[in-house]
Structure 1
Amino acid sequence: MYPRTRALPTRPAIPLWKILLPALLVLGLGWWAQRWVTRPTNPPLQAGARQGTVAGDWARLRAFGARAPGQRGHDQTLDWAQAQLTALGYRVTRQSFAATARDDLGAEVRAPGLTVRGKTLYGAQGSDQEGELVRVPPGVTEEQLEALDILGKLAITTCPPGPWAPLADAVVQAGGLGLAVVNDCAQPPPFSRVDNTALPLLEVPAREGAALLARAGQRVTFQTTTRDRPVTAANLIAARVGGQPEILFGAHLDTVPLSPGANDNASGVLAVLDLARRAAGTPLAERSWFVLFDDEERGLNGSHLFVHDHSFELRATRAMINLDMVGVAAQPLGVAAHEDLRALVRRVAPEARAFEDEPQSTRETFGRSLNITGRSDHAAFKPLGVRTLFLTRGLDTHYHSAGDKALSPALVTGAADLAERLAQAVRAAPWTPRVPCGITGRNCR
């Protein structure tokens, strides 16, 4: 036998594609199965969920008390409202975000031989300023402030005839370094949030304030002390899976820290829940989103976040309907409508009071936030081009105060009635979505 000179034939190697293809098919099937199992689904519409009433909801919500982020009533409200919307067959997303709560640690005015303690005005920061004390009339005008020359000085006044925030704003605009209000009001004053200014804005009791008024012309020191602490806020977004936000019903669920917030804005929350109840199981539910915004009182923070995160979906929105302070008859129920919708509102609801919404402020002042007094969550939608309808009965005498304890379920129901009629009319009316501009600037409308 001769020795073998070449290798015996071997089995050919398996082509790589014969290994990868089955593996990819297995992975694909696994991914599809995982997506199928974890796909979002609509919760069932629970029996009896549509039998709720505004009055019944208010009895429950009222028990939670003040609902500022960080307070116990705030978290109870979130849990309760989410449960109500889920029972109505909506998938509820809780959009959590970081917020800040500001605690007032006290304020004081120090003059030679005198120290008067008081409270920081809601919204102001902690600060310390020294200057000449100047007394200004409680109803002071811009011309009077200019004549008083309060630039670089500290102002003091007695109970103003209206909300304190506009007076504080005027003093700061005139160059004042701070304001002390002697709270000798015969009745609780109309409350309003002052701008987030780094100047001392405070109130002092009437009796101690009388001694301080006598020190006008002397050098004094104003000091306010506050503490900011991190808290968690959350928007509640209720929608059917795959539902389009052709109509977005919204209201803010938070309050200022010391207020039970009946009219501002439990009334709006109750109206949105009532609208979600009416729509449940109907075609309107598939074309609506119901959103309860958080941290409105600190600067529309929840609605700004919502608009930022859902700008794509909002291209399908025909109208955003915002309900704020609709439970007390301070004024007849009014609608501030986008210019495209004013004729529709006059046709559908000629009885509704029409009013102009507060214009967007473009003022910027060093060390301060923009003035948002009187604004509500619909303002966050305007820069995106979303048409808005703002329903309100105006400011009542208990606005932002501990006295905001009562509302009328009938008035809330009336506001929900109007919102529903407007929503149906908006959906039925012709509408051409605005196509956003591309990077090249083409296709702009």
Structure 2
Amino acid sequence: MRVCSYEHMRFLLPGVLLGTLLVTSGLSQTAPVAPASASSLDVISTDLKALLANGPRVAGSESIEKARGYLEAQFKALGYETRRDEFTYGRFDDLGSDVRVGSRTIAGNALQGSKGAEVTALLALVSGVGTPSDVAAANVRGKIAVISRGQNVPFAQKARNALDAGAVGVIIVNNTMGELRGTLGGTLDLPVLGVSQADGALLRSGDSVTLRVRTVDRTVRGANVVAYKKGVTAPEILFGGHMDSVVRAPGANDNASGTAAVLDVARRVANTPLSARAYFVLFDGEEDGLRGSRAFVANNSAATRGLRAMFNFDMVGVDVTPLAVGGTDSLSQAAQRVIPSLQVFRDSGGSDHGPFIDAGVPSLFFHRGIDVNYHQPGDVTADPTLIRDATDTALKLLDTALPSAR
């Protein structure tokens, strides 16, 4: 899942309910789907193991290509046809950046837009959050400024203030647990590294350090996997989730869990009328800015135009909070009327449903919150029972809720 730093534009359909959208399309007239069972949960476990077998599924990597091949084979075994929707985009990649303090090496992440450079200089710890007065008081000229992350001062402004004050590099320290990743929103002629809160605590004013920021701009070739029954060109419902993860994160919850959920739905409806009205799409490049879903919406206008709803699964395999839905307000509210225990949150459109909402497609986003291993090497487990609960909920909204909404 990609967390946006801005409030995404939301498309709302006042007065349009989940039932009126999908009963009108006939999607409620489906055969019963298989209930949860030990064997079906074992299949989800097998999917998760296969997706995690080759390490982080970074867009453009060999690992995601292997995952793509596995997913295509699963869809084809269920009687679906598959295709790859390919696209390209530019990406800023960190080749391995760090700061060396004596014999200790502290790994970090280059902020997108940072200059690649190696600089040896003294550290200057900046009190506050990097305002011009904070930086001036720290005397950063000719030094590497160490600045705490702060919500009221963007990364770019912290770095710009340090550059204007004569700093030769910047280290931004996270103010919460975990790694710090981010963007400067443009290019800056200064090496800027993000480090964790724990690692930042090891840095001291006056220490001589070597800051190494190693970056490259490259072209990524991405490919969405699209599955459908033969002859389906104008789907009425699209089940989607992203299959890529970030560097160093195996991506079990984010988002092998959502990928497995889409595959689980495809299995359960494979022999029902719903399968002849649906697309199942596994997006690439979500972590790089919703690249795959944006490309799908841009290049599949005919299919998108006929969609009555898009269901997006992202991070549904770890029980941070009970399953909740976001997305188009009218759909979220209708879903909660059908399942009163279902939580509703107002999201920013920061996952693959966002481009569909922008294109006028009512969408639901199934999500369980941000867990402690989000975008971390520890993202190695997801619970098949929770994944099945998400698909049960989605199918209940189609098969059980709609008749009552007439």
1:166-210 per-position Cα deviation (integer Å, ceiling 9, x unaligned): 669624235434641468x9x961554445542433146999977
Mapping 1:230-245, distance limit 5 Å: 230-243=219-232, 244-245=234-235
- Are the counterparts in 2 of residues 168 and 194 from structure 1 also a CA contact under 8 Å? no
Counterpart amino acid of 1:227?
A: V
- The DSSP-based 3-state class of the residue aligned with 1:68 is coil
- Are the counterparts in 1 of residues 97 and 212 from structure 2 also a CA contact under 8 Å? yes
Report deviation, 1:63.
1.4
Counterpart amino acid of 1:273?
A: L
Counterpart for residue 229 of structure 1: 218
Distance 1:237 1:198, change over 3 A: same
- The DSSP-based 3-state class of the residue aligned with 1:121 is strand
Give 2:385's match in structure 1, choosing from 406, 410, 430.
410
Mapping 1:15-414, distance limit 5 Å: 53-100=43-90, 102-107=92-97, 118-121=106-109, 124-127=112-115, 135-136=125-126, 145=131, 147-148=133-134, 155-157=145-147, 170-174=154-158, 175-176=160-161, 177=163, 179-181=170-172, 189=178, 192-195=181-184, 197-199=186-188, 200-203=191-194, 213-215=204-206, 224-243=213-232, 244-358=234-348, 375-414=350-389
| Structure 2, unaligned runs of 5 or more | 1-38, 164-168
- Are the counterparts in 1 of residues 113 and 184 from structure 2 also a CA contact under 8 Å? no
Counterpart amino acid of 1:385?
A: G
- Are the counterparts in 2 of residues 322 and 378 from structure 1 also a CA contact under 8 Å? yes
Q: TM-score, normalised by structure 2?
A: 0.74
Distance 1:191 1:240, change over 3 A: farther
Distance 1:135 1:248, change over 3 A: same
Q: How many pairs were matched up?
A: 351
Report deviation, 1:266.
0.1
Q: Distance in 2 between matches of 1:280 and 1:346?
A: 27
- Are the counterparts in 1 of residues 56 and 251 from structure 2 also a CA contact under 8 Å? yes
Q: Distance in 1 between matches of 2:198 and 2:392?
A: 49
Counterpart for residue 28 of structure 2: none
Q: Distance in 2 between matches of 1:312 and 1:204?
A: 45
Counterpart amino acid of 2:171?
A: A
Distance 1:302 1:215, change over 3 A: same
Counterpart for residue 23 of structure 2: none
Name whichever of 299-308 and 312-321 sits farther off: 312-321
Counterpart for residue 22 of structure 1: none
Report deviation, 1:259.
1.1
Q: Distance in 1 between matches of 2:372 and 2:131?
A: 27
Q: Distance in 2 between matches of 1:76 and 1:56?
A: 15
- After superposition, the CA RMSD in angstroms is 3.8
Report deviation, 1:347.
1.7
Q: Distance in 1 between matches of 2:145 and 2:125?
A: 6
Identity of aligned residues (%): 37
- Are the counterparts in 2 of residues 121 and 194 from structure 1 also a CA contact under 8 Å? no
- Are the counterparts in 2 of residues 95 and 237 from structure 1 also a CA contact under 8 Å? yes
- The DSSP-based 3-state class of the residue aligned with 1:53 is helix
| Structure 1, unaligned runs of 5 or more | 1-49, 360-374, 432-445
Q: Distance in 2 between matches of 1:290 and 1:211?
A: 47
- The DSSP-based 3-state class of the residue aligned with 2:231 is coil
Report deviation, 1:64.
2.5
Counterpart amino acid of 2:67?
A: T
1:124-175 per-position Cα deviation (integer Å, ceiling 9, x unaligned): 24416999965345xx56xx84652569986414xx6xxx6x6696242354
Report 1 or 2 for greater relative contact order, CA contacts < 8 Å, sequence distance ≥ 6: 2
Q: Distance in 1 between matches of 2:328 and 2:132?
A: 38
